[in-house]
Structure 1
Amino acid sequence: MSIAGGRVRRFRLRAANAYLVSDPSRPQDDDSTIRPGRGRGSDDEFVLVDAGLPWDRGRLLRGLADVGLDAGDVDRVLLTHYDVDHVGTLATLGLRADVPIHVGEPDASYLTHRSNPPILSHKGAAQLLAAPLLTPPTNPVEVVDDGDRIGGFVAYGTPGHTPGHTAYVHERLGVAFVGDMVRETDGRLEPAPWVLNADSDQNRRSIREFAARCPPVDVVAMGHGDPIVEYGYGSLKRVADRV
């Protein structure tokens, strides 16, 4: 699925979506769409947003190959959060050794195994059960904070689903990558179910605060469900008004 004028490709993986973004670094009127066979003939950065389950490596590589790329063409990774269905391929995908992985804390420490999720919470217990399935990536892990700019993206701290959950907005492309803060069902956005959240009250606050701060994007791209590709900002405001 190609969205945002062809600059974003959605990869539908086993459990969650991942996205490949052609982050423009050349003048705006240059043609930097991601299209089959295009290859590396561009000055753009190729950014992978989230990375699927450990068993999604083949699907991700096929998705990259469909647009003439491979894992070595990815320039950076943005993680919305630490969960097995969003970080699973990082150690095995074949990223270049210097490719940075950006993620908020404390999720960054969970990813690198510097600390563990809290075992006394249902979310932390589920993450700990899944941890043996994951190998920590050897790539540099860079912690992002609310307001950080990464290329054309701005990071928004949106804790609740996980403590370090982060959304990324590319205002020039008109896309908000919101991870599991919300999900799509039948064209409607809903908060992530309470059983999947570290703190559902905090997640609802994050939805309201993000909707108030987010620029009026066209596309809302989430981890679960189909991206809202027309007036996504309106859908975001509506779910914020309900929670």
Structure 2
Amino acid sequence: MATELADGVWRFELRGVSAYLVDDGAPALVDAGTPWEEAAIREGVAEAGVALADVERVLLTHYDLDHVGTLAALTPELDATVYTGAFDAALLRGERSPPWRNHKGALQRVAGLFTTLPELAVEAVADGERLGSFTAYHTPGHTPGHVAYVSEDLGVGLLGDLVSESDGALEPSEWVISYDTDAVLESIRDLADRAPPFEVACVGHGNPLSSGGSEALSALAERI
């Protein structure tokens, strides 16, 4: 089911995680849920009035089972380039494996048993790179290649798992699911400092904020 958060921004509420569709003239899928969400994502894209074949890019915040799981099942109808940070792009291309010596990397290794890598072009996005109206911001910590995307035109920040929502406020990614919590905190401060204002804050876990997104991010940066 697709819920329209703002003009050109839809949420797909999946089991335990959210994916999104954004349309600034070039429809983009934002993350893709677990491997068991194919029907829900297909239905959500259709409800948003977009044909899956017309999706031009995938703005992937990071590599995790619950964010890349359905990409393989959506092809070949989905024929779009996937953008994410360099480390996570290498994981998604199968060029490297998550490190066993990091607790989060070990979790990703186990989850990889249930992850089918998509036959899609995967490109590493540079910090500050423009993708349509979105600017990519490197926000490592939850994963080394985590990326947030902000569109001033749409007034939306795609924050992935850098933060989660709880009781209407944003909270940092927790230790158990992060590679480096110190890096998480630094990324939150950096994004709050560099990103333009946005109203809608789209998060992987918890409910998206439909207004006051950048203010909530700045409030979090001030108290961590």
Q: Which amino acid aligns with 2:91?
A: Y
- The counterpart of 2:38, out of the listed 40, 48, 57, is 57
Matched, 1:93 2:74: yes
Correspondence for 1:20: 21
% identical aligned pairs: 49
Correspondence for 1:2: 4
Q: Which amino acid aligns with 2:135?
A: V
Correspondence for 2:134: 153
Q: Is the 8 A contact 1:161 1:197 kept in 2?
A: yes
Please give the TM-score of this superposition, normalised by the length of structure 1. 0.88
Q: Is the 8 A contact 2:75 2:118 kept in 1?
A: no
Question: How many Å separate the matches in 2 of 1:101 and 1:109?
Answer: 12
Question: How many Å separate the matches in 1 of 2:4 and 2:143?
Answer: 28
Correspondence for 1:206: 187
Matched, 1:171 2:152: yes
Matched, 1:219 2:200: yes
Q: Is the 8 A contact 2:53 2:79 kept in 1?
A: no
Correspondence for 2:217: 236
Following TM superposition, by how much is the alpha carbon of 1:114 offset from its aligned partner in structure 2, in angstroms?
0.4
Q: Is the 8 A contact 2:55 2:78 kept in 1?
A: no
Secondary structure of 1:176's partner?
strand
Following TM superposition, by how much is the alpha carbon of 1:173 offset from its aligned partner in structure 2, in angstroms?
0.7
Q: Which amino acid aligns with 2:5?
A: I
Secondary structure of 2:183's partner?
helix
- The counterpart of 1:136, out of the listed 110, 117, 125, is 117
Q: Which amino acid aligns with 2:153?
A: R
Task: Show structure 1 runs of 4+ deviating over 4 A.
Answer: 95-98
- Which digits, 9 at most, give the CA deviation of each residue in 1:62-102, with x for residues without a partner? 11222333422211101000000000011111354641011
Question: How many Å separate the matches in 2 of 1:95 and 1:154?
Answer: 27
Q: Which amino acid aligns with 1:151?
A: G
Question: How many Å separate the matches in 2 of 1:13 and 1:57?
Answer: 10
Question: How many Å separate the matches in 1 of 2:13 and 2:214?
Answer: 22
Q: Is the 8 A contact 2:94 2:117 kept in 1?
A: yes
Change (3 A) 1:95 1:147: farther
Q: Which amino acid aligns with 2:50?
A: L
Q: Which runs of 5+ in 1 are unaligned?
A: 24-43
Correspondence for 2:177: 196
Question: How many Å separate the matches in 2 of 1:75 and 1:222?
Answer: 21
Q: Which amino acid aligns with 1:176?
A: G
Count, aligned residues: 222
Matched, 1:77 2:58: yes
Question: How many Å separate the matches in 1 of 2:150 and 2:46?
Answer: 26
Question: How many Å separate the matches in 2 of 1:116 and 1:3?
Answer: 36
Q: Which runs of 5+ in 2 are unaligned?
A: none
Please give the TM-score of this superposition, normalised by the length of structure 2. 0.96
